[in-house]
C-alpha cells in the first residue's frame, strides 16, 4: 500500500459518499462501509472511476457490535496503517423528550456514539502506525456531528444529545492521542442537502441547505493539515441563518 488509506463509514450515499468521492479524486485508497450491499457495489465502481487507488467494501450495520468488528477486521486484513477514519454513518431521530420512544433513543446512541467509540478503539493501533510512519501529516479522524450537538433545537433531543456526546468523545480523544500525531475533528453542519434531510424540506428549502460538496471539501482539507494542527470541531451554518439553528 503506497497510497494513503481512508476508512469511510456510511460511504455509499449522502455526505459519506461525497467525502469518499472527493478523496478518490485525490488518489486515496478507500475502505467504504454501509448497510446496503447493492449501493456499496455501485459506489465502488464510481469511486474507482473517480481515481481511487483501490476500493474495498464492507456491508455492516453499525447498530450491532458485530458490524463494527467486521469493519475493523477488514481494515486489518488489508493493511497495518489507516491514515484517516471518516465516521459518516449515522441515524437521525426527531421527536420531543416527552414522547420519544426509548428504543429510538437507544438506536440513535448505538449508531451515533457507541459505534464511533468502538471504531476508535479498534482502529487506534492502525491510526498510530500511520502517524508514526508519516509524522508530518499524522493520522486524523473526521466525524460527522451536527449543529444540534452544539446548539439545542426543539424536537431533536436524542439526535442532539448523541452528537454532543460524539463531539465530547473526540475532544477527549485529542487530549489523549494528539501528542502522538493522531487527532480528530468533528464537523457540525446545519441541514445538508441529502436524503437524510428530505423530511424537513417543507420548512427548509432544498436550495437553502448546505451542499454535500462543501462538507466533502472541508473534510479533504482537514486531511491535508499537518499533525501539529488540532481542530476539535467545525460548525457550518446555513447562509441567512443565525448560526444556531440546523
Domain locations along the chain = 5-236
pLDDT band of residue 198 (cuts 50, 70, 90) is low
Given a contact cutoff of 8 angstroms between Cβ atoms, the answer to whether 213 and 157 are in contact is: no
Model pLDDT for residues 4-32, shown as the tens digit of each residue: 999 999 999 999 999 999 999 999 999 99
Phi and psi at 60, nearest 5°, equal -155, 140
Interatomic CA distance for residues 123 and 1, integer angstroms: 17
Q: Using one digit for the tens of pLDDT, what is the confidence trace for 123-146?
A: 999 999 999 999 999 999 999 999
Question: CA-CA distance, 130 to 1, in Å (whole number)?
Answer: 12
159 is an active site residue: yes
- Has residue 39 got a pLDDT over 80? yes
Selected catalytic residue, list 28, 105, 159, 173: 159
DSSP secondary structure string, 53-114? Answer: SEEEEEE--TTSHHHHHHHHHHHHHH-S--SEEEE-------B-TTT--HHHHHHHHIIIII
Reported as a single tens digit per residue, the pLDDT across 149-192 is 999 989 999 999 999 999 999 999 999 999 999 999 999 999 89
Average the pLDDT over 211-237 and give the result: 97
Q: Which CATH number fits domain 5-236: 3.40.50.620, 3.40.190.10, 3.20.20.80, 3.40.50.720?
A: 3.40.50.720
pLDDT of 1 higher than 70: no
pTM of the full structure? 0.94
Structure-block grid coordinates of residue 206: 432544498
Q: What is the pLDDT of residues 48-104, one digit of tens each?
A: 999 999 999 999 999 999 999 999 999 999 999 999 999 999 998 889 999 999 999
Amino acid at each position: 500500500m503506497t497510497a494513503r488509506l481512508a476508512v469511510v463509514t456510511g460511504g455509499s450515499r449522502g455526505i459519506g459518499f461525497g467525502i469518499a468521492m472527493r478523496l478518490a479524486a485525490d488518489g486515496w485508497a478507500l475502505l467504504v462501509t454501509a448497510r446496503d450491499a447493492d449501493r456499496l457495489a455501485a459506489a465502488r465502481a464510481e469511486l474507482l472511476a473517480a481515481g481511487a487507488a483501490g476500493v474495498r467494501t464492507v456491508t455492516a450495520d453499525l447498530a450491532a457490535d458485530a458490524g463494527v468488528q467486521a469493519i475493523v477486521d477488514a481494515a486489518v486484513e488489508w493493511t497495518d496503517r489507516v491514515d484517516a477514519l471518516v465516521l459518516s454513518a449515522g441515524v437521525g431521530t426527531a421527536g420531543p423528550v416527552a414522547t420519544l420512544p426509548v428504543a429510538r433513543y437507544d438506536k440513535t446512541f448505538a449508531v451515533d456514539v457507541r459505534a464511533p467509540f468502538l471504531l476508535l478503539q479498534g482502529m487506534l493501533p492502525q491510526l498510530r502506525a500511520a502517524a508514526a510512519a508519516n509524522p508530518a501529516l499524522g493520522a486524523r479522524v473526521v466525524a460527522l456531528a451536527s449543529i444540534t450537538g452544539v446548539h439545542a433545537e426543539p424536537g431533536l433531543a436524542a439526535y442532539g444529545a448523541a452528537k454532543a456526546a460524539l463531539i465530547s468523545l473526540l475532544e477527549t480523544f485529542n487530549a489523549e492521542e494528539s501528542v502522538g500525531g493522531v487527532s480528530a475533528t468533528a464537523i457540525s453542519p446545519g441541514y445538508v442537502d441529502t436524503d437524510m434531510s428530505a423530511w424537513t424540506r417543507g420548512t427548509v428549502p432544498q436550495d437553502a441547505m448546505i451542499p454535500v460538496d462543501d462538507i466533502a471539501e472541508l473534510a479533504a482539507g482537514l486531511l491535508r493539515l499537518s499533525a501539529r494542527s488540532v481542530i476539535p470541531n467545525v460548525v457550518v451554518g446555513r447562509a441567512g441563518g443565525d448560526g444556531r439553528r440546523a
